[in-house]
Structure 1
Amino acid sequence: MAVLEILEVPHPGLRAVAKPVDTVDDAVKKIVADMFDTMYDARGIGLAATQVAIEQRIVTIDLQEPESDAEDAKPVRRPHVFVNPEIVSVSEELSSYSEGCLSIPEQYADVQRPARCRLKWLDEQGAGHEDDFDGLMATAIQHEIDHLNGVLFIDHISKLKRDMLLKKLTKQRKG
């Protein structure tokens, strides 16, 4: 498979709204495989197709959490594919995570999102699913679906914090 180029702010492609996938075919399966290669190569836990200039509603997530709390516990890959993901409902309860993004490298900010969400989606075989998610998985799903709608995590923080974060990113790029 292939490692794709990840778009970074301020690339206008990050504001694109992805189109639904009509059929989960071999072309979509190749995109999914390339997205996982790209996500793992960049050491991310989630990737939306729009981040690699593919305007289709496809998300890959793998939290790569260790099986135990032991210090030497190795992360375990549990890849998840969401084609045409749709949030059906969210909890009123909120949770806050320090979010980062492969499209805004090495920058983080606390973002409040619903603590739980119910999602409807197709898997990489085209089978339909509906399930509830919480914790980091709920946050990651909402973050990646935002990407499919042209929304970045920095859109959820104050203008002052966003400006500071983008200024730090510009400084970092100049090295």
Structure 2
Amino acid sequence: MILMDDITRDGNPVLRSRAKELTFPLSSDEIEMGHKMMEYLEVSQDEEQAEKYHLRAGVGLAAPQIGSPTRMAAVLVPNDEDEEDQTPLFKEILVNPTILSESVQPVALGTGEGCLSVDQDVPGYVWRHDRIKLRWYDLDGNKHITRLKDYPAIVVQHEFDHLNGVLFYDHIDKTDRFNTPEDSILIH
């Protein structure tokens, strides 16, 4: 199981380099890595388990964050809106993801973003695209295309950035950290 000590921290060059595409069929180690990243997200979102293993809760984890310079990420966005329906809003292991299109309308989290690889709190709005069209491959090499909006779109863009050597705070306006563009959406 991946623990906090296994998470690559800000300052490590792997977080600032462009990750390499994976080729299919994936190796057994690559498949295991995908499952372990998803397992981290599942366990970290369970309060009791997270406390037991001293994990910070996460909704996404990219391979560079565990030291692998490859284009793979796990995303698990829980459904916090509907108490009866606990089906995640988006739960996938993404291999070689590509954002095919994105909306013009900007969106940001009102609380700002955080990252398992960044230990300090970095205040400011991280403006992203409210809607994206995403293509990715699963661990078996099957191609998928889906449209995401709002919070799931934000999470996927955060993880996609990791595959390109970008960290969330790179998007924060350094002169006005809470600058709010016209026609933007703030999610609380």
How much has 1:96 moved relative to structure 2? Answer: 1.3
The reply on whether 1:149 has 2:164 as its aligned counterpart is yes
Partner of 1:167: none
CA distance in 2 between partners of 1:116 and 1:79 (Å) = 17
Aligned-residue offset at 1:158: 2.7
What per-residue deviation string (whole Å, max 9, x for no partner) do you get for residues 10-51 of structure 1?
Answer: 222210211001014322210111212333443100011011
1:58 maps to 2:57:
no
5+ residue gaps, structure 1, are: 163-175
Give the TM-score of the pair, scaled to structure 1. Answer: 0.80
Q: CA deviation at 1:105?
A: 2.8
Contact in 2 for aligned 1:146/1:152 (Cα 8 Å): yes
Report deviation, 1:75: 5.7
Q: Check if 1:20 corresponds to 2:21.
A: yes
Report the TM-score when normalising by structure 2. 0.75
Contact 1:67–1:76, Cα closer than 8 Å, also in 2: no
1:87 partnered with 2:102: no
Q: Report the identity percentage.
A: 33
Task: After TM superposition, give the deviation of residue 67 of structure 1 in Å.
Answer: 5.9
Alignment of 1:32-51 (within 5 A): 32-39=34-41, 40-41=43-44, 42=55, 43-51=57-65
Structure 1 residue runs of 4+, over 6 Å off?
Answer: none
State how far apart, in whole Å, the 1-side matches of 2:60 and 2:25 are: 20
- How far residue 150 of structure 1 moved from its aligned partner, in angstroms, is 0.2
Q: Which has the higher strand share?
A: 1
Deviation digits for residues 64-121 of structure 1 (CA, Å, limit 9, x no counterpart): 22362x5xx7965563111000000100111111211111135253211110001111
- The CA deviation string for residues 143-169 of structure 1, in whole angstroms up to 9 with x for no partner, is 10100000000100133678xxxxxxx
Contact 2:38 / 2:93 at 8 angstroms: preserved in 1? no
Number of residue pairs the alignment of both structures matches: 158
* Counterpart for residue 173 of structure 1: none
Tell me which residue corresponds to 1:172.
Answer: none
The CA distance in 2 between the partners of 1:10 and 1:160, in whole Å, is: 23
CA RMSD of aligned residues (A): 2.2
- The residue that corresponds to 2:31 in the other structure is 29
Q: Secondary structure at the match of 2:127?
A: strand
Out of 53-62 and 98-107, give the one that drifted further.
98-107
Query: Which structure is higher in helix share?
Result: 1
- Counterparts of 1:104 and 1:147 in 2: how far apart (Å)? 12
Partner letter of residue 29 of structure 1? I
Can you give the 5+ residue segments of structure 2 that lack an aligned partner in the other structure? 45-54, 178-188
